[in-house]
Structure 1
Amino acid sequence: MILVSACLIGLNTRYDGKNNFHQVFCDMVKNKIAVPFCPEQAGGLATPRCPSEILGGDGTDVLDGNAKVITREGLDVTENFLKGAFETLKLAEIIGAKEAILKSKSPSCGSKCIYDGTFSKKLINGMGVTAAYLYQHNISVIDSDEYLKQRQRS
């Protein structure tokens, strides 16, 4: 079983109330090989919600207490992101997931790069909070954009 970011199957869970639908991920759920999940909603954040970015590092730094997640308005939502990561791992353990396909660039789900915390659309290398937490717990984290590129090449 695989965890997949809920926005990738067409659920309107993104911060702006929209989704990042790709049929391939929807098919994975239909074929019962994947389960959708949104860590930000599980962490108690509403949809739609103000966009958030990690300030002072990446998800690993947030987990270590050395960075925080803030909204564009400056509200600290670190606890929501941590709770979402913890809940995601619980679900992974319940369903026996060893991998997760997560939305690229997200402060929760990004696995290769995330926005830099300045809300200027600048990307930095690093993982989101949930991606880093899953990785620390031996769950293979796969970037959704990379997954799609690899499928196109094969």
Structure 2
Amino acid sequence: MTNPTKILVSTCLMGFPVRYNGSAKPFMPPTLLRWQQEDRLILCCPEVSAGFPTPRLSAEIRYSPLGERAVVESDNTDVTAGYLAGASIALQLALKHQCRFALLTDGSPSCGSSLIYDGSFSGKKISGMGLTADLLRKNGITVFSEAEFSALEAAVTLSDRQTAC
């Protein structure tokens, strides 16, 4: 295959300990490992790319009564600017490598694509998108969570067929 479909992937899903608590969230089905061997994967942790340390305080998205969102750490520090910077870095990386898809960690204030924590630091999840997932989608990159991996497999297969024609 001359030009395989590229996929932006959350670094923690590939076993790297970059999550807020210094852990990884390994998710390595055989297809993902094959894609890695085929040099399709572009790894990115938006928070680490923006300069956040590992470990770091947990952060969640809070919404104002007007619907504006802010990312705050568990000590109430507003870190929205850093998370927006990480989202921008992830987008630039995806565009540079012509990624059509992204596989991101659901629940994260950066990478959550269908679920995020509710901002109360109580462990409750709500429907919503992290800042990176939102920016990628707004720029035409289809975002999948690890729970949607079979849909990503189908999308990549279709993309490869279209590229081969």
TM-score scaled by length of structure 1: 0.87
Shift of 1:23: 2.1
Shift of 1:27: 4.0
| Structure of greater Rg | 2
> Counterpart of 1:29 in structure 2: which amino acid?
Q
CA contact (8 A) 2:104 2:113 kept: yes
TM-score scaled by length of structure 2: 0.82
> Counterpart of 1:37 in structure 2: which amino acid?
C
Residues 67-146 of structure 1 mapped to structure 2, 5 A cutoff: 67-146=69-148
CA contact (8 A) 2:27 2:146 kept: no
> Counterpart of 1:19 in structure 2: which amino acid?
A
2:53 is matched with which residue? 46
Aligned length: 144
Aligned-partner Cα distance in 1 for 2:90–2:70: 19
**Which structure 1 residue ranges, 4+ long, deviate > 3 Å from structure 2?**
148-151
Aligned-partner Cα distance in 2 for 1:148–1:46: 32
Identity of aligned residues (%): 38
Shift of 1:42: 1.1
Shift of 1:102: 0.3
- What's the secondary structure of 1:98's corresponding residue? strand
Aligned-partner Cα distance in 2 for 1:34–1:16: 24
* CA RMSD of superposed structures (Å): 1.7
> Counterpart of 1:48 in structure 2: which amino acid?
P
Shift of 1:147: 1.3
